Amino acid sequence: MTAPTPPVSARPGPPPPIPAVAGSGPGAVGAARSGRGAAAGSRFSVIYRLVLRNQVTVGRLLAMAALGAVAVLLGLAVGLSSQSDPVDAGATLIDRYGLQLLAPVVALVFASSALGDLVDDHTLVYLWMRPVPRVTVAAAAALAALTVCVPVVTVPLVLSAALTGAGAALVGGTAVACLVGVVGYVGMFCALGLRFKRALVWGIAYILLWEGFVANASKTASRLSLRAYTRSVISEYTGVGLDQATLPLAVAVAVPLAVAVAMVLYTGRRLARTDVD
């Protein structure tokens, strides 16, 4: 006779331990996030270098450098002249030539071409097809334009302010006004270059007609002009009363920066909704 088979229990035993998976755990999650961050930074850097290389041409640099040289010569002329009030003469020079002409024109030339050139030669599609957030493309284009515009505008105007003999107040105000104004203009004109094919024409119309005439005629309209904010910075630093320069320093600095951020976000949204060929 065979021994009776013991009854099989219907209750299952404890599950076997789950083997450890290589690369799991908090350390691996952190490494994955770090890798994604590095990849995003790499994509941003690639787009930044592409836009910078595309927009910086010898002709553009020479033309804008010539405008900067004129600012230096004008500052020297004011400094050598027998002005009874060099601060007033220097502030007027920086306002009328630097902030009304040099800063917006330089920003227009480089910022409108940041994405506009890629649209015109049909190469934007190669960026558009990449799995990159569109706001990243817009931010990289704006930063590339700022890399060129900030020194091209700030260096000659600060030197011009120093040569007028107006003192440190005008030099400091010029530096702040240039930085704030260029940031605001670059954000605006990057969006303009993507939105319109003839961005230079629209930009010149804005600079000459709106900022040159309409904004000077109305206090309300001046609030929609970046020049009112940059000239308010000069006025706050030097105490010189310039036209429509009635804004406090904090507002004069914050608004152009906010405009730049808003325009970059708009450009990214526009890229996401635009069919690129």
pLDDT in tens, 205-217: 999 999 888 887 7
Percent of the chain with pLDDT strictly greater than 70:
83
Q: What is the pTM of this model?
A: 0.83
Looking at every residue in the chain, the average pLDDT score rounds to 84
pLDDT of residue 19: 43
Is the model's pLDDT at 170 over the cut of 90? yes
Alpha-carbon dihedral sign for residues 171, 169, 98, 183: positive
Mean pLDDT of 147-157: 96
Asked if the model's pLDDT at residue 3 lies above 70, the reply is: no
pLDDT of residue 43: 81
Mean pLDDT, residues 151-171 taken together: 95
Alpha carbon dihedral 130, 115, 53, 131, in 10-degree steps, equals: -10
Residues near 244 by Cβ (< 8 Å), separated by ≥ 6?
A: 215, 216, 219, 222, 225, 228, 231
Dihedral over alpha carbons 256, 260, 266, 269 (to 10 degrees): -160
Mean pLDDT of 144-169: 95
pLDDT tens figures, 34-83: 555 555 668 888 889 988 988 888 999 999 999 999 999 999 999 998 77
Give yes or no for residue 180 having a pLDDT over 90: yes
Q: Are 232 and 243 in contact (CB under 8 A)?
A: no
Distance CA 250, CA 229 (A): 10
pLDDT above 90: percentage of residues in the chain? 56
pLDDT at 7 over 50: no
pLDDT surpassing 80 at residue 29: no
The 3-class secondary structure across the chain, one letter per residue, is CCCCCCCCCCCCCCCCCCCCCCCCCHHHHHHHHHHHHHHHHHHHHHHHHHHHHHHCCHHHHHHHHHHHHHHHHHHHHHHHCCCCCHHHHHHHHHHHHHHHHHHHHHHHHHHHHHHHHHHHCCCHHHHHCCCCCHHHHHHHHHHHHHHHHHHHHHHHHHHHHHHCCCCHHHHHHHHHHHHHHHHHHHHHHHHHHHHCCCHHHHHHHHHHHHHHHHHHHCHHHHCCCHHHHHHHHHHHHHCCCCCCCCCCHHHHHHHHHHHHHHHHHHHHHHHHHCCCC
pLDDT attached to residue 34: 53
Amino acid identity at 85 = D
Lowest mean pLDDT among 79-93, 103-117, 208-222, 242-256: 208-222
